[in-house]
Amino acid sequence: MTARALFIVICALAGAGAASAQDAAIPAFKTLDSMEARVQGCATCHGQSGQGTGKEYFPRIAGKPAGYLYNQLIAFRDAKRVYPPMNYLMAYLPDAYLREMAEHFSKQRPAFKPKQPPAADAAVVARGTTIALSGDPSKQVPACVTCHGSNLTGMEPGIPGLVGLSSSYITAQLTRWRTGNRQAAQPDCMKRIAERLSEADVHAVASWLASQDAPANASPGSSNLQKMPMACGSQM
């Protein structure tokens, strides 16, 4: 194959990739009277099946535990978690419907977006690996995998999967926790952990998490397999 032909093939593949990413953001459904049709209000940001869209911010919500998703939808509706586009969309929806939306997305298993490349700096990669897999006992920071699962798919009922999220999204969320902008049910374990992380720690762990492979089984772990190092309100 000539270099030119190779170039054309690469361009075609890149084009196909771009087209499918774009398609995920266009509302589509089979039956009008279905949850699939009802949640197309989420499609342009989170994708038709909750896979997330775009390179950057909008998070994957598919396969996260229903309890976690429900807590977030309620928090957005009641403006306890502040993100105006979501606060606006959820404002006038009743609990029972938000529960159904959460359950719908928790059952979706769309393909993962391509993982992001690891940080360029080897020291940053090392720091991220340490925090995620071993934690930092000197700061009393437990390893991410202790609660979010060894394959980062979260834990029933309230701990979200972290795999498939972009580093910009993870960085923004940890930063909001550090500054008190984002909260969870008391006792808020994630707040305690985020406050112990430096800005550099947040950057390192976010870029490490975003560069991980998608797991074969994307389902969250069961809640009764292990004790957690900290009490978390959303697991009670």
Partner 1 sequence: MRRGIRIFLIFAVLAALIAVAAFLNLKPGKLQVAPGAVETDPTTQTITRGEYLARAGDCIACHTEPGGKQFAGGRVMAIPFGSIYVPNVTPDDETGIGRWTSDDFYRMMHSGISKDGSLMYPVMPFAAYTKVTREDSDAIYAYMMSLPPVSQKNQPHELRFPFNQRELLIGWRALYLKTGEYVPDKSKSAQWNRGAYLVEGLGHCAMCHTAINRLGGSKTSQEFEGGMIPNQNWYAPSLTSNREAGLGNWTIKEITDLLQAGVSHRATVYGPMAEVVYNSLQYLSDADVEAMAVYLKELPQRDSEAPPTQSARLVAPEVMELGRKTYATQCVMCHGDEGKGRPPEYPPLAANQSITMSSPVNSIRMVLNGGYAPGTRRNPKPHGMPPFSHILNDEEVAAVVTYIRVAWENSGTPVTAAQVGELRPIVPE
Residue 29 engages partner 1 in binding (rule: CB under 8 A): yes
DSSP lists the bridge partners of residue 136 as 141
Q: Of these, 1, 5, 32, 216, which contacts partner 1 (CB under 8 A)?
A: 32
CA 22 to chain centre: 19
Residue 141 DSSP class: B
Residue 92 engages partner 1 in binding (rule: CB under 8 A): yes
- Tokens representing 69 are 């998703």
Q: Residue 173 carries which side chain, given as an amino acid letter?
A: Q
Contacts to partner 1 from residues 189-218, by CB under 8 A:
none
Residue 42 engages partner 1 in binding (rule: CB under 8 A): yes
Cα Rg for the chain, rounded, in angstroms? 19
Minimum CB separation of residue 23 from partner 1 in Å reads 10
Minimum CB separation of residue 58 from partner 1 in Å reads 8
**3 state DSSP class of 13:** helix
Task: Look up tokens 């997305």; give the residue.
Answer: 105
Task: Look up tokens 């390179």; give the residue.
Answer: 55
Among the listed ranges 93-101, 140-148, 169-177, 180-188, the one in contact with partner 1 (CB under 8 A) is 93-101
Sites of contact with partner 1 (CB under 8 A): 25-29, 32-33, 37-45, 54, 78-80, 84-85, 87-94, 96-97, 100
